[in-house]
Amino acid sequence: MADIFTASTSYQGTFVIGTVETAPVFSICGAADINASNQLEISFWIKENGELVDSNLGTASYLIRDKNGNAVSGLTESGLVADVNGYYHSTPVSADLLYDLTHFIIEITISVDNVSRKSALGMGIGE
């Protein structure tokens, strides 16, 4: 019998029917802006295998870091709860410490099925 890979008889492979299981892939997405009152507002969500997760969600948090990795004072929030659609929304907070023409990193943690998932999003400020 020919091998399924080489079409020769030097090796005879076998195939066993089975089930392949893969771990789910989570990704955190979001959007941040500064409103007309100079307040930072952030909305974020988590996807599992590309689909929006809207159940079994726990609390979430975010932390803003500058480009050097330092936490920006006052730009953090925890204990956020998702809305009925699976979106988290920050409380608007003063954006006075976010300077024009620089970038920041938003670290986000969301609990799904009692497991914390952490990721980071970029945020640029320009005028």
Q: What pLDDT is recorded for position 86?
A: 98
pTM of structure: 0.81
Q: Compute how many other C-beta atoms are within 10 angstroms of the C-beta atom of residue 19.
A: 4
Give buried/exposed letters for 88-110 (b at 16+ CB in 10 A, else e): bebeebebeebeeeeebebbbbb
Q: Are 72 and 65 in contact (CB under 8 A)?
A: yes
Nearest-angstrom CA–CA distance, 86 and 18? 35
Q: What is the pLDDT of residue 127?
A: 61
Please report the pLDDT score of residue 90 as a whole number.
97
The pLDDT score that the predictor gives to residue 101 is 67
What gap in Å lies between CA 18 and CA 8, rounded to an integer? 26
Domain ranges of the chain: 26-125
CATH number of 26-125: 2.60.40.1940
Low-confidence stretches of the chain (pLDDT < 50) are 3
